[in-house]
Structure 1
Amino acid sequence: MQQFAGNSCSRQEMDELMQYVREAENDQLLHSALQQQWSSLQPEEPLYPVNWEGMYDTIVASPATENKVGLSPSPIPLIRRRWWAVAAILLVAAGGIWVWTKTPQQKTPPVIAAAKDIQPGSSGAVLTLADGSKVVLDSAANGNIATQANASITKRDGVISYGGKAPGVAANAPVGQPLMNTLTTPRGRQYKLVLPDGTTAWLNAASSIEYPVSFTGKERNVSVTGEVYFEVAAKSNAPFVVTTPQQQVTVLGTSFNMNAYTNESIARTTLLQGSVLVKIRNSQLKQSSYILEPGQQATGNAGGMLQVRDVHAEQFIAWTKGYFLFDHASVPDVMRQLERWYDIEVSYAGAVPQREFGGKLERNLPLSAVLKMLETSKVHCKVEGRHLTVLP
């Protein structure tokens, strides 16, 4: 138990501990050991308020934590929930809300760096109109913020939407060429948009979407960079087509998430509801297109081959609900998300720490709280201004 709390036991020892916890005849001894260990783990002050019962549910039920610390995916009898909740508390005390795997032993004492407080991201974006003028939505008041042809653009409680029945075509524009708007979120911002057809789009940090102020053709075409979650309004006579530098997705009415950041190794399209056709752009390979079913994800880059797998789709839209959800995430995986949300630059002073993380993390925490949790998993950082250095 002491080795577990100190994050120094082997994978075999952790499996043995969790098997011991699962056996009912060990309850009395477990109770005594947990009380003794919990007393020794009391922190000087809590990092942030924690709902222990909710944390228990997250650790036991989340697919991101199954089989990483010997937790059984099968249901646990209610009579044993209390001891599992205590075990979950110990897990949190020992390692924040992180569940680690493949954590090598450190031979030298770790360097603990004080974290400078950086606040999390918030709602905000820049709307670029057809004439190139820009509207900063962070500071724009509720109400009408612009007019494109006869289409009225309205901001209301952090959401912009389009109204009016105008075709949205400029008088001096070529026939059939619509007025185009672009919504862009910088690092540290996210935003919600209702497109002219009623489709809703949520933009994650460092993302953009280009779209016409009115959909008038046989297809509803938009272009995306970064990460966007769509809930597409159904129109059987006008497919909704999303294009990224790597992929093209065609739908009639569905919910799906697209991740196409340029600093990620692959682009991902994850389907929650409905059906979508995913195509790899500029690919001559046979396996360059696929019709996804709910719960499937297509990955691949331009010119390459499409790969499809079954996933827990909710994990990939956790950001729309206010939290990160990691599953086998490496240190660079975690840091890229922190870069975008906290508007920071990350570098590595030496070798990249070999860790994997799984679990849920609220996006409203200041950066200092996140770094304290990383420290419990032996990932140490130094913050100078808006630059974060991961220490060896």
Structure 2
Amino acid sequence: MNEDKDVRVRALFSRYYSGEATPAEEEELMRYIRSGAHDDIIGDAMKQHWLEPGSESNLFDASQSREMLSSILTTSRHRKPWGAMRRLWVRYAAVAAVLVVVAGLWKQRKSAQEQPAPIAGQTSPQDVLPGGDKALLTLDDGAGIELDKVRSGLVARQGGTEITKKADGLLVYHNRSAGKAGMNKVSTPRGGQYKVQLPDGSKVWLNASSSIRFPSVFPATERPVEITGEAYFEVTKDAARPFTVLFNGSTVQVLGTSFNIMAYPEEGTSRTTLVEGSVSVRNRSGQARLQPGQQAAVTPGGRIQTAFKPVEEAVAWKDGLFYFKNAGVRDVMRQLARWYDVDVTYQGDVPVRRFTGQVSRNVNLSEIVGMLRYAGVNCSLKDHTIVVAQ
């Protein structure tokens, strides 16, 4: 009986991989994967189709291919996080994530116009949902407003400034009349993200466990803000008022441009990546002026190092993706901990693995944990904690 099921699983995998499986066959295969009773068969099928010499999908050498078994292809969903994604890849629902690692990675098998309906999956009691739009607005007087719990419309007033929440969650500052400026702060928890339109019309996207502090009315000669964590900016041009961002003892100064700053303390090195325009990064150790596509890395010692880096790698989070490039297990776990608001514990030595690829941030954590297990990392999800063992 078990042999018959093994044959069935292999046949379903082959049809799914070749794009010939019917929706019913896909769902049947997903049930087998979720049951965990056929891991060896699925693993063998992965190796056969993904690593076999001369395979159409074998675009990289064997070592690279094994690393790429860790990546989940981006889903083109009905709900697209914060606007259109820079790159649309078509796949079925996130419950297929473990299989998607192999079946669709690095090749667009179907037109981006095709958007199949997601396959409904069940969430186990041990599962953790992905993060979402959550933030706390702290006004000048210290009052706090949980933005994800208030309705759209007027949220607060600061002097002559009205603070409103749009239907899509965007927090907007309107300077209606002259008035005293107050310092405001928008902060996201672990598992949160948020988008804010500043008093000058500039927009900022906050990643999980991040914050931005700014005046409700910018002065006549400058536009200063301060951040922690990670933020993406689209700055309104105003030559008379330079826009400055302070983080970890460094300052980014711009007139009007798009850029990303990653300054999580636990990451050690902070990184400023320029998408469009021109910015300068400076601290006590020196200064660097960036070109589009260039990144300034500020080491813990304050040294500024510049290099051209793929913009997609820095801003993928804004488009609903994790982007891993030769990332170690601890690197991956830090990102998962922030986005899913979970703890990570290690039992014994940390496994030596490297991961390259893009992973949707809109999948349940159990699916990523399952993917990591298939990639050779002995990990499990227990009581809101990822346990990584030898």
Q: How does the TM-score come out when normalised to structure 2?
A: 0.71
1:134 to 127, 141, 144: 144
1:154 partner letter: T
> 1:38 maps to which residue?
14
> 1:348 maps to which residue?
346
CA contact (8 A) 1:94 1:376 kept: no
CA contact (8 A) 1:98 1:357 kept: no
CA contact (8 A) 2:271 2:296 kept: yes
Q: How does the TM-score come out when normalised to structure 1?
A: 0.70
1:362 partner letter: S
Q: Return the alpha-carbon distance in structure 2 between the equivalents of residues 232 and 188 of structure 1.
A: 25
Q: Return the alpha-carbon distance in structure 2 between the equivalents of residues 149 and 362 of structure 1.
A: 41
Q: Return the alpha-carbon distance in structure 2 between the equivalents of residues 380 and 245 of structure 1.
A: 35
Task: Give the deviation of 1:68 after TM superposition.
Answer: 3.1
2:14 partner letter: W
Q: Over alpha carbons, which structure has the higher Rg?
A: 1
Once structures 1 and 2 are overlaid, which stretch shifts more, 322-331 or 185-194?
322-331
1:325 to 2:352 alignment: no
CA contact (8 A) 1:331 1:352 kept: yes
1:366 to 364, 376, 388: 364
Q: Return the alpha-carbon distance in structure 2 between the equivalents of residues 221 and 378 of structure 1.
A: 46
- In the alignment, structure 2 segments of 5+ residues that lack a partner are 1-9, 18-28, 35-49, 51-55, 67-95, 107-123
1:158 to 140, 159, 169: 169
Task: Give the deviation of 1:147 after TM superposition.
Answer: 0.3
> 2:80 maps to which residue?
none
CA contact (8 A) 1:296 1:308 kept: yes
> 2:212 maps to which residue?
209
Aligned to 1:138, the other structure's residue is in SS state helix
CA contact (8 A) 2:128 2:366 kept: yes
CA contact (8 A) 1:251 1:276 kept: yes
Q: Return the alpha-carbon distance in structure 2 between the equivalents of residues 389 and 36 of structure 1.
A: 31
1:332 to 1:204, Cα distance in 2 relative to 1, 3 A: same
1:198 partner letter: G
Aligned to 1:340, the other structure's residue is in SS state helix
Aligned to 2:267, the other structure's residue is in SS state coil
RMSD, aligned α-carbons: 3.3
1:119 to 2:129 alignment: yes
CA contact (8 A) 2:230 2:261 kept: yes
Show the 5 A alignment for 1:370-381.
Answer: 370-381=368-379
1:216 to 1:367, Cα distance in 2 relative to 1, 3 A: same
Aligned to 1:337, the other structure's residue is in SS state helix
Aligned to 1:230, the other structure's residue is in SS state strand
Task: Give the deviation of 1:330 after TM superposition.
Answer: 0.9
Task: Give the deviation of 1:163 after TM superposition.
Answer: 1.0
2:343 partner letter: E
1:222 to 2:225 alignment: yes
1:164 partner letter: N
1:268 to 2:303 alignment: no
1:136-166 deviation line (CA, Å, top 9, x unaligned): 0011011001000011000012111011343
> 1:29 maps to which residue?
none
1:65 to 1:365, Cα distance in 2 relative to 1, 3 A: farther
1:38 partner letter: S
Task: Give the deviation of 1:217 after TM superposition.
Answer: 3.3
> 1:145 maps to which residue?
155
2:254 partner letter: V
Task: Give the deviation of 1:324 after TM superposition.
Answer: 1.0
> 1:86 maps to which residue?
none
> 1:50 maps to which residue?
none
Q: Return the alpha-carbon distance in structure 1 between the equivalents of residues 63 and 242 of structure 2.
A: 41
1:358 partner letter: T
> 2:250 maps to which residue?
247
Aligned to 1:263, the other structure's residue is in SS state helix
Task: Give the deviation of 1:262 after TM superposition.
Answer: 0.9
CA contact (8 A) 1:98 1:358 kept: no
1:205-232 deviation line (CA, Å, top 9, x unaligned): 0000000001123110000000000000
> 2:389 maps to which residue?
391
Q: Return the alpha-carbon distance in structure 1 between the equivalents of residues 145 and 182 of structure 2.
A: 16
CA contact (8 A) 2:369 2:380 kept: no
1:190 to 193, 210, 223: 193
Aligned to 2:334, the other structure's residue is in SS state helix
1:115 to 1:327, Cα distance in 2 relative to 1, 3 A: farther
Aligned to 2:266, the other structure's residue is in SS state coil
> 1:290 maps to which residue?
288
CA contact (8 A) 1:65 1:358 kept: no
Task: Give the deviation of 1:246 after TM superposition.
Answer: 3.8
Aligned to 1:132, the other structure's residue is in SS state coil
CA contact (8 A) 1:346 1:388 kept: yes
Q: Return the alpha-carbon distance in structure 2 between the equivalents of residues 154 and 147 of structure 1.
A: 9
Aligned to 1:378, the other structure's residue is in SS state coil
What number of residue pairs does the alignment pair up? Answer: 302
> 1:258 maps to which residue?
261
Q: Return the alpha-carbon distance in structure 2 between the equivalents of residues 303 and 179 of structure 1.
A: 34
Q: Return the alpha-carbon distance in structure 2 between the equivalents of residues 201 and 302 of structure 1.
A: 25
CA contact (8 A) 2:259 2:273 kept: yes
Q: Return the alpha-carbon distance in structure 1 between the equivalents of residues 300 and 349 of structure 2.
A: 30
